[in-house]
Structures are given as structure tokens and as C-alpha cells.
Homo-oligomer: A and B are copies of this chain.
Amino acid sequence: MDAKQYLKKTSAEVDGPIKSYIPDEEPMRLIEASRQYPYAGGKRMRPAIVLAACGAVGGDKSKAMPLAVAIEYIHNFTLIHDDVMDGDDMRRGMKTIHVAYDEPTAILAGDALFAKAFQIIADLDIPADAMREVLRYVTKAVWDLARGQEMDVCNEHQLVSEEVYTETILLKTSVLFAAAAAGGALCGGADAKTVEAINKFALDMGLGFQMYDDYLGIAGDSSKTGKSVGNDLRKGKCTLMVTYTLEHLKDEKKLAKFKSVLGNMDATEDEVREGMEIMKEIGAIDYNKKAAEDKIASAKSYLDILPESEDKEFMLSLADYAINREV
């Protein structure tokens, strides 16, 4: 089963549970707001990682199902709050919560999902010591997510180093993947060494995933990604391609040209094309792609500790998928 098939299967399995933990309660307005994102579907990558990690260590996946739901709620809580912060109006073809309801309700719906996730973790049907470890991973992830989001706010319209870039995507993307993976393994009864390996797998996979996402934004096929190619340059989005170019480009004229495009929403199509050509020439685009591939190779190596299984196979194929996709 390849990654896409596995995700589809998991998605069908988790949809029911995802809809079972938020009961009808007053005020229904808040309940409905908090249900909107998790009920709307999506790839369910994080729940799939929770379940696969549990299965890959020989655990009973039904023990990990509530955690799969909790992690998805946490992911959705961050999306709701991010949408408020970014002032985004639409997500997944629907109005965002602060638009469909109002801003207070959006903030509260996020808080409520957050609380519900930890209620679910408290009730996990696993030994209390293992639950405590799950809680440690997940709370650290949420703490880090907030740091990563604030870094993103601070980085905006700033040129940061490769180090700061990597730290930001680690916090914004990887830590929740990692909590999902480690938590799933803990639900499956894994020992500390295995949990740690699976955690590291997910951290690196998250980095590779995000780096490749950036790469697609520049080198991808816009008819498939749905993003207008090069728009990330106009928005001044910090990526490895940008940090590499700024660090290695010695031709002053080209550097000035590149900087004049970066973060310039008024840049013309031609100017954007020129900026992209500059990145290509200096090798920044290849560098970014290679960095993503290296992270994925590193991620996969951590799974050597696991015996062969369909679940391990999925985790490996998910990592491959991260750098072999068009969308």
C-alpha cells in the first residue's frame, strides 16, 4: 500500500472518532465553531502517523485512536488561531471561523479544541506512566508551535539565516509530527529508545516536508500546486533558496536585482522570472531540493530500528512522498 492509499484508509477510519468527542452542549455556537475544521476532512496526516507509529511497534492501534483525534484537534486549534492572526478569510473552501462567526468565538473555539485534546489524552486507555510521557511530548510540541508561529511573525519582511529558517520550520511543522509519532509509539507500548527513534524520524521528515513545500512554491507546476509560481518571492517568504542566494551571490548587480524583487508585491512577472533565474544560476534551487532529500534520507534511517511491517512501510513511503509530489 503506498502512502496515498494508506492515508485514504486512515482518513476513513479516523473520521468517525473525530466526530465523536465533541458532544452537543451549550453554547452550541461554540461547539459548532470548534467542529468546523476537524469535521471538514483533510489529509489526516498526523492521525495516520499516530496510528502507524503504534502499529509499527507492534501495538494495538485502537489504543492510539483517541490520541490520533487529539493530535488532529491540536492541529486544527493552531489553524484556527493562525487564521485569526493572519486575517485569512477562507480555508478549505469555507469561511474561516473568525469570518463565519466572529473573532472571540474563533479564539475560544481554538482554546476549546486545545482543552478537549488534553481531556482525551487524560483518558487514554494506556498505563498512567505512558500517558504522562505522551503528555510531555504533546505539551512540548504546543509550546514549540507557539514559539515557531511567533518567529514567523518576527521573521516577516526580514532576511534571516539558514539556521533561523530551519529552527522556525522545525517548531512550526516538525514538532507536532514528532509528538504524533512518539505518542503513537507510546500508545503501542514502545520502549524509550524506540520512541526516541520514531520521534527523530518525524522531526526530520517534517523538515524535509516543509523544505520540499518551499521548493514546490518556486519550481512546482502552478497548475498543480494552485500557487502562482514565484509568488513566494514577491511575498518575501523565507526559504532555503533565499537564504542560500543571499549568502552566496557575490555579483553585486544581481544581488541588488534579487533584493529588489524579494518581498516586493509590485514586482512584475518579468522581474520575478529574473529573480528565479538568479536563484537557479547560483544553485539555490538545487540546494533546497537536495537539503529536503537529505532530511528525508536521515529521517528514514531512524526507522532501521523497527521490524518490517505495513505500518513501517507507510512511514517510509510517507517520507518518500514528502519529496516526490507535485502538490
Contacts and interface: CB of A to CB of B under 8 A. Distances in A.
Interface in A105-143: 105, 107-112, 114-116, 118-119, 121-123, 127-129, 131-132, 135-136, 139-140, 142-143
A107 B132 contact: no
A60 interface: no
A169 to B, nearest CB: 14
B119 A154 contact: no
A147 interface: yes
A182 interface: no
Contact of A26 (B29, B123, B145, B167): B167
B122 A139 contact: yes
Contacts of A112: 143, 146-147
A84 interface: yes
Q: Give how many copies assemble into the complex.
A: 2
Interface string A137-181: 001101101110111011000000000000100000000000000
Interface of A: 25-27, 29-30, 81, 84-85, 102-105, 107-112, 114-116, 118-119, 121-123, 127-129, 131-132, 135-136, 139-140, 142-143, 145-147, 149-151, 153-154, 167
